[in-house]
Structure 1
Amino acid sequence: MTILLARSAGFCFGVKRATRMAFEAADSHDGICSLGPIIHSPQLVEKLEEKGVVVVHAVKDIPEGAVIIRSHGVTSGELKEINARDLEVVDATCPFVKSAQDYAALLSREGYGVVLVGEREHPEVQGILSYAASGDVFVVAAPDEAEAIPRRKRLGLIAQTTQSFETLRQVADICLKKCQELRIFNTICDATSVRQEEAREIARKSDLVLVIGGFNSANTTRLAQICTEIQPRTHHIETAEQLRAEWFQGVVTVGITAGASTPRWLIDEVIHRVRNISN
């Protein structure tokens, strides 16, 4: 079998940065915690736990000392609580996420109704929302949901960093009909757009597609959805152990991509397993 591996498969800039900061913090502290998992990779979070990084899910559960802020960021309220406790902070928030938070605050402060394209329950979206707390905020996951946005004189549009540009564009078209003034900040990470286009290209050329990454990872799930639309024989997996030999019957070309939170060693293990199945 021929294996086509996406050029951008695996860690993006923000995840590389957050992971490096987390491991450095683990080496320099006798016990440290992260507020939420540092990235959406259970396997990497487990490796950090082995080095003493404990995951907590509320500020009140942070012991005295230091805390790592995950790549998805935290809410403005959580940040205030952390600062009030005078904790040492290792801020691993992705710069692209921080930019989206800043734009949300700016639009809200200047009186725009804020439209956020994203998944309401995702921690990144929850964080961005908290910075736009002073005005009307509308979260839409798809263009049809944008139809319910009430008419406003001014709307401001931003997006979860891992959203697809096409969804953002479609929501923008709808928002134009809802207001007199529309201000748009394209907060989608460049790596997301590149990764999604590579996924489409590989899916068109492959008899089977493997998408590697955490089942709790929004960008990995979106890659799997994109590939499935083009190549129905697409499987979203976290590890090589989840591969099934029967998937490969009659397959000549296997396409492989991975989410932005997927470590390279997991990708290598999958490639090794696919080659063993081929042999």
Structure 2
Amino acid sequence: MSARIEIASEAGACYGVERALRMVEDAAKSSEVPVHTLGPLIHNPRVVSGLAEKGVTVVSSPEESAGDTLLLRTHGVTPDEERRARELCHEVLDATCPFVKKVHQAAARLAREGYQVVVVGEAGHPEVEATLPHAPGAVVVGSADEAAALPSCKKIGVVVQTTQSRANLEKVVAALLGRAEEVRVVNTICDATSGHQGACAELAARTDVMVVIGGRISANTKRLAEIASGLCPRTHHIEGADELDPSWFDGAELVGITAGASTPASQIAAVRTAIESIVA
């Protein structure tokens, strides 16, 4: 059995994740006190486990890291959490993705200008939970049906979880147009998210088998798996090379690989090497 292997033209760790990983690696090497992250730094359990092996542990509140070094996760934290962290910790390093910061800023600006802020995203997701306090009274909607159920108001201002799809945003906005006299949209979807999704679709449409690499709790990775599955029925979402099943590749001529924004290049390389050994 032999097959060609192709990696999507845009795949793997985005700028925000790479920046956060550099920050935590530097802190682990240089800090004279223990280093922690407020919540998982990124949604990649294997990376988080690897950091734990280097002594970087996950805490759920600033109080758990009093006197130590604390990194604020890439998905962001609430203003209150950041305030408490800076009061209690020896050092606070802000690893919040700059694109997530833009969501916070846009939500706050819309609230100041009198808009009812709507966050298009997944309720309970850390990024969404960190965004809401920047716009008191903001609500979360995840679908057009949820948007259509909102009470009518004069002005609605929309921001978007960075890993949402443009297709879902368009459906939600269409539903909101009937709920207000004015709907203002600040499209805060990350360019890397759009690029990953487009490249995934292009590749999945041509492949016999698609392998999507990334944490099962990662919103953007799950979305890649959904996109790939719609175009390539033989799609498999894994977190690491040890999960590969040789039977997946029976009869395949082209195997596609993509990876979520929290997946480092080393994990992609390991999966490719493992697939090569199977299909060679």
TM-score (norm 2): 0.96
Unaligned runs of 5+ in 2: none
Which residue matches 1:3? 5
- Partner Cα separation in structure 2 for residue 260 and residue 179 of structure 1: 35
4+ residue segments displaced more than 4 Å: none
Q: CA RMSD in A?
A: 1.2
1:101 alignment partner, one of 101, 104, 109: 104
Given that residues 66 and 88 in structure 2 are in contact (C-alpha distance below 8 angstroms), is that contact kept between their aligned partners in structure 1?
A: no
Q: Could you tell which deviates more after superposition, 92-101 or 176-185?
A: 176-185
SS of equivalent to 2:20: helix
AA matched with 2:10: S
AA matched with 2:223: R
Which residue matches 1:170? 171
- Partner Cα separation in structure 1 for residue 265 and residue 18 of structure 2: 11
Which string of whole-angstrom CA distances, capped at 9 and with x for unpartnered residues, describes residues 130-164 of structure 1?
2112x3x2211122221111111000001000000
1:13 maps to 2:19: no
Q: Displacement of 1:16 after TM fit?
A: 0.7
Q: Displacement of 1:44 after TM fit?
A: 1.4
AA matched with 2:13: F
- Partner Cα separation in structure 1 for residue 205 and residue 175 of structure 2: 30
Q: Displacement of 1:230 after TM fit?
A: 1.2
Given that residues 138 and 149 in structure 1 are in contact (C-alpha distance below 8 angstroms), is that contact kept between their aligned partners in structure 2?
A: no
SS of equivalent to 2:194: helix
Q: Displacement of 1:48 after TM fit?
A: 1.7
Given that residues 211 and 258 in structure 2 are in contact (C-alpha distance below 8 angstroms), is that contact kept between their aligned partners in structure 1?
A: yes
Q: How many residues align?
A: 277
1:151 maps to 2:142: no
Which residue matches 1:181? 182
Which residue matches 2:256? 255
Q: Displacement of 1:63 after TM fit?
A: 2.9
AA matched with 1:143: A
Which residue matches 1:56? 59
Unaligned runs of 5+ in 1: none
- Partner Cα separation in structure 2 for residue 230 and residue 149 of structure 1: 33
Given that residues 69 and 89 in structure 2 are in contact (C-alpha distance below 8 angstroms), is that contact kept between their aligned partners in structure 1?
A: no
The correspondence of residues 38-57 of structure 1 with structure 2, limited to 5 A, is: 38-57=41-60
AA matched with 2:279: S
AA matched with 2:222: T
Which residue matches 1:71? 74
SS of equivalent to 1:173: helix
TM-score (norm 1): 0.96
AA matched with 1:125: V
Given that residues 203 and 230 in structure 1 are in contact (C-alpha distance below 8 angstroms), is that contact kept between their aligned partners in structure 2?
A: yes
